[in-house]
Structure 1
Amino acid sequence: MKITCIGGAGTVTGSKTLIESNGIRILIDCGQFQGIKPLRELNWEPLPILPSTIDFVLLTHGHLDHCGWLPRLVDQGFKGKIYCTSPTAAIAKLILLDSAKIQEEEANKANEGQYSKHQIAEPLYTVAQAEQVFSHFRVIQTKTPIALDAEIEAVFSNAGHILGACSIELHLENQYLVFSGDIGRDNDVLLFPPTIPTRGDYLFLESTYGNRLHPDTDPKLELEMYINNTITKGGTVILPSFAVERAQSVMFLLWQLKQEGRIPSVPYVIDTPMGISMLDLFENNRKWHKLTQEQYVGMCKMFTMVSDYKETIEMIYNKQPKVVIAASGMITGGRVLSYLERYIGLPETTVIIIGYQAEGTRGRKLLEGAQDIKIRGKYYEVKANVVEIEGLSAHGDQKDLLHWLSALEKKPKKVFLVHGENQAADELRIKIQELYGYDCVVPMMGQTFDL
């Protein structure tokens, strides 16, 4: 059996892990690279094997860094099945269509504005190519074995993080391989705690926050403080948010604050069509989250939901103080860019960063104190107040990741630390070895292991 870390090694994006066993090829996730240009350029490179030779894709969840390369995979010849939960299939469809639409729009704008370095800017994939993926989805039930082959079985288990997210256990060649996917938090606002594994010969554990502990602070209190301070100054609060699950978590916390009379009566806006579409998924997938019907209805009524871009323009030029949730979470694209073009240069603006910011993204640059940021070929001076609320991350921290390994009945042969930047993964490696004595390795991109 061979394992190759095609992506998601040394970085938190581009997750792709290839398993080759007895003539069968399985890809765990098929994500898009994000962040610094050398990583983004990898999206244009072919896989080290022909997509037509891959039999199955097992999808842990629907975030772009785990599913965003599927249109390229299918376009280049993949004809197999993509197994995932029902919410993951629905989310992946939304995200792929949104990603394709944004890429088409950005390519058109680059060509019209002539700010692309290429003679003709092209999208990584089109809406039509994204739609070609959908017929490959096969919905599975959690905790139910799926026979991929006569001697290969897969079981999906809840991982928290976002709706439908799962860890995956593979049983093949008399070995148990466990792929964590992205691990959610034990005390998430909306989601249930992850199911932790009890067995595994080889474990592939994400390490996004492998070197960090989430602060023991109250994110509601922080939201209350930043919103009140900003509105008092006559400013606008902008929350760049991942449209899937984080936007809904922030909506819920803001609704609670409003119910408790702790934040003012100003417009509360969610301007992300995909985030709005996600609300229907919350209503239709109640077993995956903690929201009651009453909470869901109340939360939705509080917000002005903006779908049409004309409404976005009107909201941007409305001088009234307001609180806006807009995608994307790492400020790599989406409507939040349009808000920042107008508001990032105003000192009364507050930008609240609420999720992991990958290396090279605008969000990371803002957190690191950038004096200006580049949006659509133009530079904008940063005068807004940029703050971070770490307690709203959808990723488990070092403590959560260590806890995920705590129920193993016997010592694994090896733990691979993936989906993390090198320093985070290496610090987690040291902690695991100190706490459990497990053999850990931090794979390099493209590295192959014989198991």
Structure 2
Amino acid sequence: MGIPKIEFLGAAGTVTGSRFLLSCDDTKVLVDAGMFQGLKELRLKNWNPFPIDPQQIDAVILTHAHLDHCGYIPKLVKDGFEGKIYLTEFTGKLAEVVLLDSARIQTEDAKYAAKKGFSKHNPPKALYEEPHAAKAVQQFSVQPFRTRIQVAEQTFVTFFPSGHILGASFVEVEFFGKRLLFTGDMGRQEHPLLVTPDKIPSGHFDAVITESTYGDREHAPTTTVFETAINETIDRGGSVLIPAFAVDRTEVILVQLRQLMETGKIRRVPIYADSPMALKALSFYRKAIDEDSEEIRDEIVRDWADKDPFDPGTLVELLTVEESKSINEPPQPCIIISASGMATGGRVVHHLRNMLPNPKHTVVLVGYQAIGTRGRRLIEGETEVKMHGEMVPVRAQIEQIKSFSVHADSEELIAWLKTASEQPGQVLVVHGEAGAAETFSDRIKSELGWKSHAPIDGEAVTL
């Protein structure tokens, strides 16, 4: 028998493109298959040939439905992957929405680039199209939490709730006699809707592969900056634009806005949820609450049995492009929540183009902004940003609110790792920007006394 190994084909030295290939002899299993986002040099990696023929992959294990973990799956399918994609119920529901939306946006962007002539491809092309995403969905194999299943030769998988987004899991993988733990994206203790992450299963793990998105920092405590920014903007006759990830972040923001309006802390104005994907995701969160899903906090089910926790009475859900365009010049101050969360694509780009030049408006960034994204450039104070091939001046107020993160920070990650009953053989630190992963790896070594390493892109580690 060969020696099992893991190859880091993404999310090593960066927070995007999670792709971890387990191989032993002829067996090959991929944990996550995410898209690279952010810097152009990273995005271009999506176009590189996959290191092995996708037909050779026996199975894909998906931790959750965010694009940087699942967005590359249709490309694998397009190139010949025909195996099953193992995931939980709500990861399946959300990933279907995310992947079909990703395919649609890529196709639309390619058409727009061809029309405007600002792409280097001739003709501009999409990485994959909707038929590839639809085929990928047909390969989903939905699994319950905490149930051990076989996915390939000498390969067994168990999903555990991670509290990051609906359906999100950390995953135990038994691979040719080696016991591995993949955190995926680890959630926090106080998600407003989801239960706290499960503790680490007992026993010895040969390797723990942990994310480190916030591995070099702690989340700022909740402040009043969010409500202050909203009230000051409304008082000067402006509107607030919140670029938000369609899956989970929009739901978290809506819960917070409802609470702030009901307690009188912010003005009661229209809230426009302007993302078809976010609205589909919202319907799954409502379904999970209605069905008393094990992922939902008991108090949410109990306290909101007869009410919608996402709507303070002013929520307007915009489904069509025409409805979206209707708020380009809103007749009164309002709050607009629109995807994508890093302002890289989707309807929010059109709202930014319209609102950024006007100093009465405010853009509130509530999620992680990867290097190279439009959101990151706004945070860093750039006076103009490029959109659809032209430069747009930035005169609107820009605010970043860090307390909405649903990623565990360094303290929370360490506390969760301490729930292990035994010291693992090694810890491999991924899914952090260069510096964050190394810092967190050093902290694991110094505080826990564990063997730890932050792999580089393309590195292979024997197990």
Kindly provide the CA deviation profile for residues 159-197 of structure 1, in whole angstroms up to 9, marking residues without a partner as x. Answer: 111000000101233321000000011111222111131
Where does the alignment leave 5 or more consecutive residues of structure 2 unmatched? none
The aligned runs of 1:157-306 (5 Å cut-off) are 157-197=160-200, 198-199=202-203, 200-218=205-223, 221-286=224-289, 287=293, 288-290=295-297, 291-292=300-301, 293-294=304-305, 297=308, 299-300=310-311, 301-306=313-318
How far has the Cα of 1:294 moved from its partner? 4.1
Q: Alignment partner of 1:205: what SS?
A: strand
Kindly provide the CA deviation profile for residues 314-349 of structure 1, in whole angstroms up to 9, marking residues without a partner as x. Answer: 111224211110000000101111111110011111
Q: Distance in 1 between matches of 2:135 and 2:152?
A: 25
Residue 96 (1) aligns with residue 99 (2): yes
How far has the Cα of 1:135 moved from its partner? 1.1
Change (3 A) 1:422 1:412: same
Residue 348 (1) aligns with residue 360 (2): yes
The correspondence for 2:393, drawn from 381, 396, 417, is 381
Q: Distance in 2 between matches of 1:316 and 1:295?
A: 34
Q: Which residue of structure 1 aligns with residue 47 of structure 2?
A: 44
1:145/1:155 contact within 8 Å kept = yes
Kindly provide the CA deviation profile for residues 129-154 of structure 1, in whole angstroms up to 9, marking residues without a partner as x. Answer: 21110111000001000022463211
1:255/1:302 contact within 8 Å kept = no
Bigger mean CA offset, 52-61 vs 276-285:
276-285
**Residue identity matched to 1:212:** R
**Residue identity matched to 1:410:** E
The correspondence for 2:59, drawn from 41, 52, 56, is 56
Q: Which residue of structure 2 aligns with residue 2 of structure 1?
A: 5
Root mean square deviation, CA, Å:
1.3
Q: Distance in 1 between matches of 2:307 and 2:118?
A: 43
Kindly provide the CA deviation profile for residues 246-265 of structure 1, in whole angstroms up to 9, marking residues without a partner as x. Answer: 10110011011111122212
Q: Distance in 2 between matches of 1:296 and 1:55?
A: 45
Residue 392 (1) aligns with residue 399 (2): no
1:13/1:32 contact within 8 Å kept = yes
The correspondence for 2:459, drawn from 433, 436, 447, is 447
Bigger mean CA offset, 186-195 vs 89-98:
186-195
Change (3 A) 1:428 1:404: same
The correspondence for 2:20, drawn from 14, 17, 20, is 17
Change (3 A) 1:135 1:298: closer
2:255/2:309 contact within 8 Å kept = no
Q: Alignment partner of 1:341: what SS?
A: helix
Bigger mean CA offset, 410-419 vs 295-304:
295-304
**Residue identity matched to 1:434:** S
1:159/1:193 contact within 8 Å kept = yes
Q: Alignment partner of 1:171: what SS?
A: strand
2:94/2:281 contact within 8 Å kept = yes
2:244/2:341 contact within 8 Å kept = yes
How far has the Cα of 1:117 moved from its partner? 2.0
Q: Distance in 1 between matches of 2:187 and 2:307?
A: 21
**Residue identity matched to 1:299:** F
**Residue identity matched to 1:356:** Y
Kindly provide the CA deviation profile for residues 48-103 of structure 1, in whole angstroms up to 9, marking residues without a partner as x. Answer: 11100000000000000000001110111111110000100111110011111111
**Residue identity matched to 1:436:** L
**Residue identity matched to 2:214:** Y
Q: Alignment partner of 1:7: what SS?
A: coil
2:107/2:125 contact within 8 Å kept = yes
Q: Which residue of structure 1 aligns with residue 125 of structure 2?
A: 122
**Residue identity matched to 1:214:** H
Change (3 A) 1:296 1:206: farther
How far has the Cα of 1:393 moved from its partner? 0.8
TM-score, normalised on structure 1? 0.97
Where does the alignment leave 5 or more consecutive residues of structure 1 unmatched? none
Change (3 A) 1:150 1:43: closer
Q: Which residue of structure 2 aligns with residue 87 of structure 1?
A: 90
How far has the Cα of 1:17 moved from its partner? 0.2
Q: Distance in 2 between matches of 1:173 and 1:333?
A: 41
Change (3 A) 1:258 1:89: same
Residue 357 (1) aligns with residue 369 (2): yes
**Residue identity matched to 1:392:** F
Residue 403 (1) aligns with residue 410 (2): no
How far has the Cα of 1:449 moved from its partner? 1.1
Q: Alignment partner of 1:265: what SS?
A: coil
Q: Distance in 1 between matches of 2:447 and 2:437?
A: 15
Q: Distance in 1 between matches of 2:155 and 2:35?
A: 27
Q: Alignment partner of 2:461: what SS?
A: strand
The correspondence for 1:335, drawn from 344, 347, 351, is 347
Q: Distance in 2 between matches of 1:144 and 1:90?
A: 19
